Amino acid sequence: MTSGGYDAFDDPYSYKGLDCLKNRLGLRDPEVLQAFELEMSSLRAAEPLPIGLFGPAHYRRVHWHLFRDVYTWAGRYRTVRTAKGGNPFCFPEYIAPQMDLLFARLQTAAFLPGVGGDVFLTEASAFLGELNAIHPFREGNGRAQLAFLHLVALRAGHPLRLDRIKPETFMPAMIQSFDGDLAALREELAALRG
């Protein structure tokens, strides 16, 4: 079964027999749910994002903040295997340890105040590409990734203007990063520097 454009197996997150994720309003039409999700997450993104220590718990709080009005499981790692376009994301049993390893990088000099812009962009591209490959949540990964990266960039002194994102070029760059090609993603992030 697919839901939200994802291939998922034995998906307890979807209504039985429907291609629609279970949600707080009980919406059963995927297009209506998508519109509601976008509206609510956009409203929450306009609010101050949660502060924290830039670890996995902080990242989960950002996801919860953005999607708490839509999904009861907001901020919790997924428990189902998923894929997109035939590319499998991290199996659920490995999400927590992979997140711990990845987020440990955020404590290195490459992400701290005073780091040069080129170093930050290179490391931020690698971080974002790996975070996308882990895909820890059942839905809302992209928005949570960018909101969190915004916080990371602010802390490092290299703010990003997320309103400059061009989906027609950003999405292909994210797909290329899944295969380890980070050049396009780095260019996309460079174009967002404020």
Q: Which CATH architecture has domain 2-192?
A: Orthogonal Bundle (1.10)
| 17 Ramachandran zone, left/alpha/beta (phi>0; psi -120 to 50) | left
Average pLDDT, the chain: 94
CA distances from 125 to 11, 164, 186 (A): 30, 17, 5
Q: What is the mean pLDDT of residues 175-185?
A: 95
- Cα-Cα-Cα-Cα dihedral sign, residues 135, 50, 67, 172: negative
pLDDT tier, 9 (very low <50, low <70, confident <90, very high otherwise): low
Phi and psi, residue 33, nearest 5°? -60, -45
With pLDDT > 90 as the criterion, what percentage of the chain qualifies?
Answer: 91
The angle formed by the CA atoms of residues 45, 51 and 55, to the nearest 5 degrees, is 105
Q: What is the mean pLDDT of residues 150-169?
A: 96
The angle formed by the CA atoms of residues 21, 27 and 29, to the nearest 5 degrees, is 75
Alpha-carbon gap, residue 15 to 17, rounded angstroms: 6
- Say if residue 8's pLDDT is above 90: no
Phi and psi, residue 94, nearest 5°? -110, -5
The angle formed by the CA atoms of residues 126, 114 and 109, to the nearest 5 degrees, is 45
Give the pLDDT of residue 194.
77
pTM: 0.93
With pLDDT > 70 as the criterion, what percentage of the chain qualifies?
Answer: 95
Give the pLDDT of residue 2.
43
Could you read off the pLDDT of 14-68 as tens digits, one per residue? Answer: 999 999 999 999 999 999 999 999 999 999 999 999 999 999 999 999 999 999 9
Domain boundaries, the chain: 2-192
pLDDT tier, 85 (very low <50, low <70, confident <90, very high otherwise): confident
Give the pLDDT of residue 7.
60
- Say if residue 1's pLDDT is above 50: no
Render 151-173 in DSSP notation, one character per residue.
HHHHHHT--B-GGG--HHHHHHH
